[in-house]
Amino acid sequence: MEPSVSDRWALADPRLAIDLLSTLRHEHDAVVDDLADAHETTAWLRDRHPDTDDGAQTRALLVRLRDLVRQLLTTAVDGTPAPPDVVAQISLLAAGAPVTLAARTHPDGTVTVERASHGDPDVTLAADLARSALILLAEPARDRLRLCRAPGCILFFLQQDPRQQWCSPTCGNRARVARHYARRNTRPDAGTGRS
């Protein structure tokens, strides 16, 4: 009998690294950091990675990885060379908990295949996040990776369609308003009442 393949077999999910970077963002002119302390980190982990929900233990690793991933993806969208030490550190973390496929037979004779990773939960999470960053450097994800160019926004996103320029509709609105005011203030006849 053919094994059924679940969609959980994938080596890496590119959205995980984007999600990690989104823990640090600007909201209403203030910096929000979901990994600001152990308590906040625990809350973030519970929502997303419940296998590893001890923020006190995991926070330093996540903050370090977030910094590395930001450096890596910034060079990717800028088209500049990635720092070799950053690449090496992310590769090392990605290899911390290798992924394999685990097959299981069921009483009815079916075989299911699932992605499996073994190791300490913190190391496994860091490896998943690191692999997610690396897969963003490869097609097809690389082609869709963008840095939001709205004023003050530092978020990366995966384009849903080729015209998408902003991480969210909110950023799109802010950018349009900023452009409108910039045009008004640089026009030679600004303030004269003519249009």
> Binding residues for Zn ion, per CB under 5 A?
148, 150, 153, 155, 167, 171
Alpha-carbon gap, residue 20 to 61, rounded angstroms: 12
Q: Provide, rounded to whole angstroms, the least separation between the CB of residue 49 and Zn ion.
A: 24
Q: Which is nearer to Zn ion, 45 or 148 (CB)?
A: 148
Q: Which is nearer to Zn ion, 102 or 178 (CB)?
A: 178
Q: Which is nearer to Zn ion, 32 or 102 (CB)?
A: 32
Q: Provide, rounded to whole angstroms, the least separation between the CB of residue 139 and Zn ion.
A: 24
Q: Provide, rounded to whole angstroms, the least separation between the CB of residue 30 and Zn ion.
A: 15
What DSSP letter does each residue of 3-65 carry, written as one string? Answer: PEE-GGG-S--HHHHHHHHTTEEEETTEEEETTSSHHHHHHHHHHH-TTS--HHHHHHHHHHH
